Homo-oligomer: A and B are copies of this chain.
Amino acid sequence: PAYRYEKDPSAIYRQSFSIVRDEADLSCLPEELHPIAVRLIHACGMTDLPTELAWSDTVLDAANDAFRNKAPVLCDVEMVAHGIIRSRLPAGTDVVCTLNDKRVRELAKHLGTTRSAAAVELWTDRLEGAVVAVGNAPTTLFHLLETIASGGAKPALVLGFPVGFVGAAESKDALIENPFGLPFLALRGRRGGSAMAAAAVNALAAGLPEES
């Protein structure tokens, strides 16, 4: 068979974003979040995300400041870290994932929790003012909120996209209702994932024009 398909990367992007703009109803979102919503939809192929998005009014300013200050991006899993387009971040910005650090397994056993939660303990030095992107584990998000509740360092913002059936929706609700004034962007419910968390970082990283 002869296969006919679009091979020009910029045409693919252009057509994709145009389809998303045509089909997705973004009217529930403030104008300045539209480009970010478009990128999130683009990352997952689903146009019905907007009504499930939740955000704090402070999230865009917080993101701009954080990226300008070369705040590190702390990720719960390597998949998120590898979905981030490094060239979008200011030179010298670190992308960090501690999940596979050798100390995590012992730490998880010691704390009686998951490795994903224990990995947050190893963020401590870099957590103040950081960009946190959670694309997989509800326990990462819960444990982060616990450390903040007990007086620990506060990140600049949290991108909350844990996925799944046990704790994902609840962890994002807890983020959305956080009493710490913590800026956030999150997708309510069971959906989420590394691709969306990475897309959120990529979209926020430069106040990007969406066709870039």
Residues on A lying within 8 angstroms of B by beta carbon are 1, 3, 5-9, 12, 15-16, 19-20, 42-46, 77-79, 81-83, 112-115, 117, 138-139, 142, 145-146, 149, 163-168, 170-171, 174, 179, 189-195, 198
B9 touches A165 (CB 8 A): no
Most chain B CB inside 10 Å of its own CB: which residue of A7, A115, A170, A189: A7
Given contacts A6-B167, A165-B16, contact A194 B192 (CB under 8 A): no
Q: A78-B82, A193-B195 are in contact. List 20 more A-B contacts (CB 8 A).
A: A1-B149, A3-B145, A3-B174, A5-B142, A7-B117, A8-B114, A12-B166, A15-B166, A16-B165, A19-B165, A44-B191, A44-B193, A45-B163, A45-B165, A45-B193, A77-B82, A79-B195, A82-B82, A194-B195, A195-B195
A79 to B12, CA, bound (A): 20
Q: Please give, as numbers and ranges, the residues of chain B lying within 8 Å of A191 by CB-CB distance.
A: 44-46
Query: Smallest Cβ distance from A171 to chain B, in angstroms?
Result: 7
A57 to B198, CA, bound (A): 35
Q: Please give, as numbers and ranges, the residues of chain B lying within 8 Å of A6 by CB-CB distance.
A: 139, 166-167
B115 touches A9 (CB 8 A): yes
What is the chain B residue whose CB lies nearest that of A149? B1
